[in-house]
Structure 1
Amino acid sequence: MFVSLAVVTVFMSALLLVSAGAKSLRTRHITEQMSTLGVPQGMMAFLIGAQIAGAAGVIAGLWWGPVGIAAAIGLALYFAGAVAFHLRVSGGGPHHGLRRPDRIACCHPLTADSRSGARLDRAG
């Protein structure tokens, strides 16, 4: 079980570091997206640091649990803020993709699959 945890943790940390690297390069695509979302340019260094600290924290959490828990909480807050910025820009109306119950339901493994009506059970 630890091997699975380690593989997923390293993969997620690598994705976070790639994202932080892309933000640090400040490519046109990234800067346009951030300005569309209303993220100030001065906040970019904080966002990059949060991603790097989160990646390092979850890796360190493989050996010392409290650090991993703190990093996971920090990353959850980071991504909650990202969702909030995206919803704020899109208006978050009733036809927004994230607000549709069937989209939320199909993302959670213990809920009904909206396309087939099948329920995913733990006991197969």
Structure 2
Amino acid sequence: MQDLAAGLRRFQRDVFPAKAELFAGLAARHTPDTLFIGCSDARVVPELITQREPGELFVIRTAGNLVPAHAPFAADGVAAGVEYAVTVLGVTDIVVCGHSACGAMTALAEG
């Protein structure tokens, strides 16, 4: 936990001031053009691998980057995220990104 707190302090000290104008704009308006659905694996960082700035991706992360089949009236956070990204934010591109050595997919395949 101390590492997380130290990282937050570094962000507040170094990153936030350098990108203050970007963050001020994002506070007023959030208009990503891409919905990125990826794995919750900590080794996969969507903004890093796509070289995007904060606010450029709307990200949904699930184990194995799985998107459940639509089920009317089901409580589904993934479907809610997709609907919000498309209907409210107006994203124009949707990326579903898998990766090698995915533990979730290995567990699924092995039953």
User: What TM-score comes out, normalization by structure 2 length?
Assistant: 0.28
Which of the two has greater strand per residue? 2
Name the larger-Rg structure: 1
The higher relative CO (CA closer than 8 Å, separation ≥ 6) is in 2
Which of the two has greater helix per residue? 1
User: What TM-score comes out, normalization by structure 1 length?
Assistant: 0.26
